Amino acid sequence: MKKKDQVTAAEEQKEAVQVKGKKRRAREAQREIRWDRLDNTAHLFPVIAGESRRNVYRISVTLTELVDRELLQQALDMVLPKFDGFNLRLRQGVFWYYFEENGKPAPRVREESAFPCRYIRQNKNHSYMFRVTYYKYRINLEVFHVLTDGMGGINFLKELTYQYLRLAHPKLREKVGDSLNSDTSLNREDSFLKNYKHSSQKGYQTKRAYLLKGEKLPPGEFGVMHGYMKIPELKKVCHAYGVSINEYLVAVYIWSVYTECMHGMPSERPVRVAVPVNLRPYFNSITTKNFFVMVSAEFHPTKEIYTFEEVLKSVSESLRSQISRENLEKLFSYNVSNEKLLAARIVPLFLKNLAMRYVYTTSALANTATVTNIGNISVSEEYRPYVEMFHAFLAMSKGQHLKGTICSYGDTLVFSFSYDLTDTSVQRGFFRKIAADGIAVEIETNGVNYE
Coil, helix or strand at residue 120: coil
Question: Is the per-residue pLDDT at 66 higher than 90?
Answer: yes
Residue 419 per-residue DSSP state: E
Confidence (pTM): 0.89
How much is the pLDDT for 451? 47
Do the Cβ atoms of 87 and 105 come closer than 8 Å?
no
- CA distance linking residue 278 with residue 288, whole number of Å: 12
**Average pLDDT for residues 15-30, to the nearest whole number?**
56
Q: Are strands 369-376 and 402-409 parallel, antiparallel or unpaired?
A: parallel
Residue 237's pLDDT band (boundaries 50, 70, 90)? very high
**Average pLDDT for residues 135-155, to the nearest whole number?**
96
Provide φ and ψ at 265, rounded to 5°.
-100, 160
> Quick count: other Cβ atoms within 10 Å of Cβ 219?
7
- Summarize pLDDT for 262-319 with one digit per residue, the tens: 999 999 999 999 999 999 999 999 999 999 999 999 999 999 899 999 999 999 999 9
- CA distance linking residue 181 with residue 387, whole number of Å: 16
Question: Is the per-residue pLDDT at 249 higher than 60?
Answer: yes
> Quick count: other Cβ atoms within 10 Å of Cβ 241?
16
Residue 420 per-residue DSSP state: -
- CA distance linking residue 188 with residue 310, whole number of Å: 43
- Summarize pLDDT for 133-143 with one digit per residue, the tens: 999 999 999 99
- CA distance linking residue 202 with residue 206, whole number of Å: 10
**Average pLDDT for residues 3-8, to the nearest whole number?**
52
- CA distance linking residue 139 with residue 130, whole number of Å: 13
Pick left, alpha or beta for residue 33 (phi over 0 → left; psi -120 to 50 → alpha; otherwise beta). beta
How much is the pLDDT for 414? 98
Lowest mean pLDDT among 30-39, 122-131, 153-162, 165-174: 30-39
**Average pLDDT for residues 422-430, to the nearest whole number?**
97
Do the Cβ atoms of 368 and 296 come closer than 8 Å?
no
How much is the pLDDT for 390? 98
The residue ranking higher by pLDDT, 3 or 50, is 50
